[in-house]
Amino acid sequence: MSENTAAPVKPKGKKRLELDPRLAAYKGIWVFVEMERGQVHQVSWELLGEGRKLADILNVELGAVILGGSSDELSAAARSAFTYGADVAYIVADPILTDYRNEPYTKAMTDLVNRYQPEILLLGATTLGRDLAGSVATTLLTGLTADCTELAIDPDNRGLLATRPTFGGSLLCTIQTLNYRPQMATIRPRVMAMPDAVPERSGRVISENLQMQEDDIIAKVLEFIPDEAQEQAQLAYADIIVAGGRGMGKTENFRLIWDLAAVLGAEVGGSRPVTHAGWLPADRQIGQSGKTVRPKLYIAAGISGAIQHRVGMEASDVIIAINNDPNAPIFDFATYGIVGDAVQILPVLTDALRSRLAVNRRAG
């Protein structure tokens, strides 16, 4: 909803603004550690890994903000946060925070920010993270950049350079929050690499109370229906993905994608035109307006590789692209390229794979 994409680019000289001394006092990088029903979302560890790098550049502490209902779960999460790079854990434990609700979480987070004043606050761009980030930024009246694909520090002014796709993923833009603190950004799951845990790392814990009573909160959670009961694609964390694009020609040809995925034990995804045309459900869309993935193997069949799609999958370890247009942009960043008709090659590939697996199974 940002109108920012239409904003004139400010002249370069302007960004060397002297920061208001009140704002210059904001120090440190914080990552919101997202817990839902006792489980930490992996994106939080990915952000601690990235936050560690930024904290080292700025020579400041990395804080992990952990909110929830059970002190035991929060302490366990804090210990993990230290192993992924946090120096300090800011904990608010209160039964009110057991289920995510916007009001008490916004209150807990804004109180912590006002008290301890971090210069940068990062959250995962999950449904929970976006709900919270938008509320916190508006309450604090500061800048928030959504769905960043790259974070860096401006050597001129220590400011955060938050890069994200714009114009529907046709271009990238770098956004800065000038005379406001903290500088906030959300980052999608899988955009940043999972850091290695350092088991012997430890840190300080700072506990605060939630300044709220249950009676103050209007919203009540009546029920939680977990996803196991439903069919939700688990694309973001899949190891192997077979994805189809407009080049598959028609919806019937997606059977070939599903067939190959079944033999590989892979998840199925697609580009935006494909989900818009209804060839795949919307939750299988990969790209800027869909999911970000980084599997070990990504097979792109009939996908041209527009930036909108590219930003969602280019971190894959191995990308095999099949496209009949030799000039398709996907060949600029795939690991292996096959110029040919995916509709012809896929079934043959599925058969060849199936027979090799059968031979190996007999041999094994």
Partner 1 sequence: MHIVVCIKQVPDSAQIRVHPVTNTIMRQGVPAIINPFDVFAIEEALRLKDRLGGRVTVLTMGPPQAEDALRKAIAYGADDVILLTDRAFAGADTLATSFALAQTIRKIGEEHPVDLVFTGKQTIDGDTAQVGPGIAKRLGLQLLTYVSAIDALDLEERSITVQRRSEGGVQVIRTCLPALITMLEGSNQIRFAGMDDMFRSARLTVPQWNKDRAGIEDVSKIGLKGSPTVVSKIFTPKPRAVKAQRIGADLDASGTANAILDVLSSQHPRLAQELGLITH
Give min distance, CB of 313 to partner 1, in A. Answer: 13
Give min distance, CB of 207 to partner 1, in A. Answer: 25
Per CB under 8 A, the list member of 28, 49, 118, 134 interacting with partner 1 is 134
Nearer to partner 1, 55 or 300 (CB): 300
With beta carbons less than 8 A apart as the criterion, state whether 16 and 157 touch. yes
Q: Does 131 bind partner 1 (CB under 8 A)?
A: yes
Contacts of 314 (CB under 8 A, 6+ apart): 333
How many binding residues for partner 1 (CB under 8 A)? 113
Nearest to 342 by CA among 293, 297, 300, 294: 300
With beta carbons less than 8 A apart as the criterion, state whether 92 and 108 touch. yes
Range 191-230, binding partner 1 (CB under 8 A)? 218-227, 230
Range 259-278, binding partner 1 (CB under 8 A)? 264, 272-273, 276
CA gap 330, 305 in Å, rounded: 4
Contacts of 116 (CB under 8 A, 6+ apart): 28, 63, 90, 206
Q: Does 231 bind partner 1 (CB under 8 A)?
A: no
Which of the ranges 45-53, 66-74, 197-205, 334-342 carries the binding residues for partner 1, by CB under 8 A? 334-342
With beta carbons less than 8 A apart as the criterion, state whether 38 and 69 touch. no
Which of the ranges 50-58, 60-68, 88-96, 335-343 carries the binding residues for partner 1, by CB under 8 A? 335-343
Amino acid identity at 338: I
CA gap 153, 283 in Å, rounded: 33
Give min distance, CB of 194 to partner 1, in A. Answer: 17
Helical (H) or strand (E) element with 298: strand 297-301
With beta carbons less than 8 A apart as the criterion, state whether 217 and 287 touch. no
Helical (H) or strand (E) element with 331: none
Q: Does 190 bind partner 1 (CB under 8 A)?
A: no
Q: Does 282 bind partner 1 (CB under 8 A)?
A: yes
Give min distance, CB of 51 to partner 1, in A. Answer: 20
Nearer to partner 1, 62 or 280 (CB): 280
Q: Does 173 bind partner 1 (CB under 8 A)?
A: yes
In the shown chain, the binding pattern of residues 16 to 55 toward partner 1, with x for contact by CB under 8 A and - for none, equals ------------------x-xx-x-x--------------
Angstrom CA distances, 30 to 20, 33, 60, 189, stand at 21, 9, 10, 17
Nearer to partner 1, 75 or 139 (CB): 139
Give min distance, CB of 29 to partner 1, in A. Answer: 18
Say how many C-beta atoms besides its own lie within 10 A of residue 121's C-beta. 30
CA gap 151, 145 in Å, rounded: 11
Q: Does 143 bind partner 1 (CB under 8 A)?
A: yes
In the shown chain, the binding pattern of residues 54 to 93 toward partner 1, with x for contact by CB under 8 A and - for none, equals ----------------------------------------
Range 294-313, binding partner 1 (CB under 8 A)? 296-297, 307-308, 310-311
Helical (H) or strand (E) element with 216: none
Q: Does 98 bind partner 1 (CB under 8 A)?
A: no
Per CB under 8 A, the list member of 115, 167, 204, 214 interacting with partner 1 is 167
With beta carbons less than 8 A apart as the criterion, state whether 302 and 245 touch. yes
3-state SS assignment for residue 263: helix
Nearer to partner 1, 28 or 337 (CB): 337
299: which 2 tokens? 């097979």
